[in-house]
Structure 1
Amino acid sequence: MTEPSGGGGERQGRPVVVPAIALVALTALGIIALLGGLDEAPDAPKPLGQGAVLDQGMYMTKFVESRVKVEKAEFSFDDDKRFVELVFDVTNKTDETARVGMPPEQPERAFALTSFAGSLVRISPAFSKESGPFTFALLKGDESQQLQPDVPTQVVVRYRLKAGERPPDKVTIDVASFEEGTSFLNAAPQWEMVSEQVGEKFLPEIKARVTLPVRQEAGA
């Protein structure tokens, strides 16, 4: 028996067919959303060169140059000393005296440091342990290990070259930064290096990768 035309019954909608591949894609997106979304690839460090200025949080730093420095022997039986020097203009932006410090031997040892040189977490090519580093600040001709608040200061990080050793053509520095947090002991504000936990280690986040050509003077 056929239904009379123009009957009062509701018209049945046609079933919608969803392809299997679409269902799989929707399910996958739902799972990703529950897990917190797609992982974003970490940003590559900002590439910088000679003369660049970087805000490191605690410090405002200008990467002045890299050079070969020769210190003439005082006596005829001594040899001249040659160094590869990394030169920075550093301003301590905090309200307290900071230290020049030393570059860390390994990046995973840097996260607890707040000194300026502690933020130079990797220097390439690597120099031997016998070469240094030696660090100091120069203010009005005097050497110091202190960086006074809001006082632009030249900082030198140097490595001694062995007799006959050829200096590199360029030096590349991975530079970290700092942020203001709170001490877990007394909740007082304190500066700390921006780091991330990888397994059981804390690795500094590389804010910039700075490449400096090594300037060589005649006779160096």
Structure 2
Amino acid sequence: MHPRARVAGYVTAAVLVAVGTFWATGGLGPADAPVRTGPGREIDQHLFRTRLAGAHVTTIKKFGKSTRMLVINAWVTNPTRETQGTYGINNDVFAHGMFLHWRTEDGPRPEQIDAQAIAGDTLFRSLQPRLPTYVAVQYQLAAGTRVPDHVTVALADYEHTESGVLDPRGYWEWKARRDETAYETNPLTHKSGRVTHIIPVLVADVTLPVKR
């Protein structure tokens, strides 16, 4: 993790969830309003060039149990010279720069659980340099969740720092609108500490029709 995302005591994916929830529940100020658009337009996130194609609801079976999923479909190009990820614990993977707006009246917020690149029958979690790749970002739906006919997804902006402490090639991070510090407890280790959240700049709000 880069310096502005360090945690006194712990670093977990819960930080990412908290930031995503902040943006999706109205933490954005009017001066920072992103471009509003529909499906098909390429959005330059600098680390990714993203064209959101649509969304659909599906049911999958895992370990004999049926689970409803909301899937956001995207074509993603990695313009850098290095392989990037679609999903993981760091901010610089594709899925963590995507925030789902959600209304409380539609039930429990969908939980982002994976983002898989798809090529034929092959599933993987990497984006090769300059190769447009189809990515399916998966959100698990709770029993009481109602998915509306349209959903809106916010996309974060990224910036590159030329020199990193551990990697002389530098690193990518969210372009920060501001930082916020809070005292939080890790739900896994139950340890508490001060956590600095990066609140990212958003480049676009994309509204997508949802197929059933």
TM-score normalised per structure 2: 0.65
Q: Deviations over 1:188-213 (max 9, x none)?
A: 44322211324545310011111112
Contact kept, 8 Å, 2:151 with 2:208, in 1: the verdict is yes
Q: How big is the shift at 1:175?
A: 0.9
| Partners of 1:154 and 1:46 in 2: CA distance | 23
- Corresponding residue for 2:97? 119
Q: How big is the shift at 1:74?
A: 9.6
The answer to whether residue 76 in structure 2 is matched with residue 90 in structure 1 is yes
The answer to whether residue 151 in structure 2 is matched with residue 174 in structure 1 is no
Q: Deviations over 1:19-46 (max 9, x none)?
A: xxxxxxxxxxxxxxxxxxxxxx724210
The answer to whether residue 203 in structure 2 is matched with residue 207 in structure 1 is yes
Q: Match of 2:149, as an amino acid?
A: D
Contact kept, 8 Å, 2:110 with 2:142, in 1: the verdict is no
Q: 1:44 to 1:178 in 2, by over 3 A?
A: same
Contact kept, 8 Å, 2:102 with 2:109, in 1: the verdict is no
Q: How big is the shift at 1:172?
A: 1.3
- Corresponding residue for 1:192? 173
- Corresponding residue for 1:59? 48
**Following superposition, which runs of at least 4 residues in structure 1 exceed 6 angstroms of deviation?**
none
Specify the SS of the correspondent of 1:207. Answer: strand
Q: 1:48 to 1:74 in 2, by over 3 A?
A: closer
Contact kept, 8 Å, 1:125 with 1:168, in 2: the verdict is no
Find 2:163's aligned residue among 170, 180, 183: 183
Q: Match of 2:91, as an amino acid?
A: L
Flag structure 1 segments of 5+ consecutive residues without an equivalent: 1-40, 105-111
The structure carrying a bigger strand percent of its residues is 2
